[in-house]
Amino acid sequence: MKIAIFHDYFGTVGGGEKVAIEMARILDADIITTDIDAIKKIDQQVRVISLGKTIKFPPLKQISATIRYYFSDFSDKYNLFIFTGNWSTAAAHRHHPNVWYCHTPVRAFYDLYKTFLARQNFIIRQLFRFWVYFNRIFDQHSVIKVDRIFANSQNVQKRVLKFHNRCSDVIYPPVEISLYHCIEYGNFWLSVNRLYPEKRIDLQIEVFRQLPKDQLIIVGGYSTGDHASQYVEKIRKDLPSNVTLLGEVSSEEIMDLYARCKAFICTALDEDYGITPLEAMASGKPVVAVDEGGFRETVTDKTGLLVEPSIDSLVKAIRIIGTNPERYREACLIRAMEFDLARFNTELKNKLLIKSSN
């Protein structure tokens, strides 16, 4: 069976990009995308076809990606098509049989519409309303053309039902446990995420401003043409001396940071799923996370703490976990194993391939 995976773009390599790459490996599939800058920087034995570059300015980036997918035609070259992004589903009208592995319905169109709207000035707000109105209609039309949907978490499964009125099965993204290890419980906390407002990096910074004796290292970047540039400029100003923004680093460097950190913190707003807490657990490190979204499906009281998204609650949790992070090690390793690559491999083939071919 020849399989193609349509993924929006590889402007940076986050959780969604890692899943697309892993799917391509397991299924021996081609990846069809737009921007390939990030995937060229990593050593991956995957076949990539680019439809061309996007326009690096929001929302023209998203519109240009959508147009490229809508007019693409690989219908006679593959036996199954998998969409793993938001904009690539525009190709669903022509490519069948197909599957959407949904990381989330477009948050700016649905659950975070008001949040995105509130960030804009008056003029941009009117343009944003106009853009969302018409693109939401197009998005709904594209999803109607999807044959089957799989969600990356129960949280996303609920969003798919709410916003698209479609049922879906859950296949949790994988963690390749064998790549992670624990060297020590060092003198710094770690945060790994894209530098987007929804990740609430500013909250992490303010928390550690209250903890001057604790160090925080924040790893992650953002794609050019997304909505993050002004946010990144803002959080870089007036950083406390105990907080370091590393930006994007190699996979090897990230795994070394996981291996050496004291513990892990994540604060994303109603996170779709969140692979990074499990990567931390695979390194034997406990997690402090906000009590929202996909974190509720991975973090337990044996592997860390789920708390309210407030400075006081996070400060208290960090102090509790930081006194003896080693005691969580065994439970973290056991929990991470439940999401290992072998499980993803089996579910991908049994649920996605078998059900989609019926």
How many angstroms separate the CA atoms of 227 and 196, rounded?
Answer: 7
Tell whether the model's pLDDT for residue 357 goes beyond 70.
Answer: no
Kindly report the CATH number that applies to the domain delimited by 3-174+340-357.
3.40.50.2000
How many angstroms separate the CA atoms of 251 and 70, rounded?
Answer: 33
Give the architecture-level CATH label for domain 177-337.
3-Layer(aba) Sandwich (3.40)
What pLDDT band is residue 133 in, cutting at 50, 70 and 90? very high
What pLDDT band is residue 92 in, cutting at 50, 70 and 90? very high
Predicted confidence at residue 230, as pLDDT, reads: 85
Q: In the chain, what are the domain boundaries?
A: 3-174+340-357, 177-337
Helix (H) or strand (E) holding 5: strand 3-6
Report the 10 Å Cβ neighbour count for 125.
Answer: 14
Tell whether the model's pLDDT for residue 28 goes beyond 60.
Answer: yes
Helices 229-236, 201-209: inter-axial angle, 10-degree rounding:
10
Q: Which has the closest alpha carbon to 227: 106, 53, 58?
A: 58
Beta strands in 11-168 (DSSP E): 30-33, 47-50, 80-83, 98-102, 148-151
3-174+340-357 and 177-337: identical CATH topology: yes
Predicted confidence at residue 355, as pLDDT, reads: 64
Tell whether the model's pLDDT for residue 320 goes beyond 90.
Answer: yes
Tell whether the model's pLDDT for residue 346 goes beyond 70.
Answer: yes
The CA distances from residue 126 to 21, 55, 59, 114, 234, in Å, are 37, 22, 14, 13, 24
